[in-house]
Amino acid sequence: MQKRLEIGQIVNTFGIKGEIKVMPFTNDIKRFDDLEKLYVKSNKCEKLYKIESVRYHKNMVLLKLEGINNPEDADKLRNAFLEIDREDAIPLEKDTYFIADLIGLDVYTDEGNLLGKVDDIYNTGANDIYVVKDELGKQILLPGIKDVIKKVDLDNSKIIVHLISGLI
C-alpha cells in the first residue's frame, strides 16, 4: 500500500496573498478543514507545507500555505498534486476503499477468468467506473455497483466481479 494518498491538484492561483486553487480528489470536500499539513508534489520537487487557511469557492478548495505569500510563488506550484500521509486520511466506511489501493489489482470474474488489472477509476456521480485493462491493452469498463463488484480482496490483490448481461 502507498504511504501517501493524493487528495487534489493545484489548478491555479487565487487572489494576491498567495492562495492556491485546488481541484479536490475526495468525496468530502470539507475534509481539508481537518488537515494541518500536506505534500506538494510535482516532477520538479516534493515539499511538505503547513496549511495556514482553508476556504471553499465553487466546488474548489482555496488553500493558503505557509511560505507562499504572493501570486508568483503560488504560480510555481500550478499543476502539482497534493498528497497526505495515510494516517491523516479520513477512516473509510465498510466496503469502501481508496482508489490508490485498487489500482493494479487483478480482476477476475466469479467464474475464475482473469479480465485484467484495474488501470483507473472514474467517478461519474452516480457510481464509480472501474477501467480494467488486459495484457493486450484492451479496456473493459465496469460499474462500481454491488451487482458487479462482488469482492475486493486487498490481501490477495484481487477483485471478483460478476458480469451482468450486456457489460462486455
Q: Do residues 89 and 98 touch, judged by C-beta distance below 8 A? A: yes
How far apart (Å, rounded) are the C-alpha atoms in residues 67 and 48?
11
Break the chain into its structural domains and give their ranges: 4-87, 99-161
What's 4-87's CATH class? mainly beta
Handedness of CA 89, 10, 75, 83 (dihedral sign): positive
Domain 99-161 fold is: SH3 type barrels. (2.30.30)
Q: Quick check: do 4-87 and 99-161 share a fold?
A: no
Answer with the residue of higher pLDDT: 141 or 1: 141
pLDDT in tens, 23-56: 998 878 898 999 999 999 988 789 999 999 999 9
Whole-prediction pTM value? 0.77
Question: Residue 60's pLDDT band (boundaries 50, 70, 90)?
Answer: very high
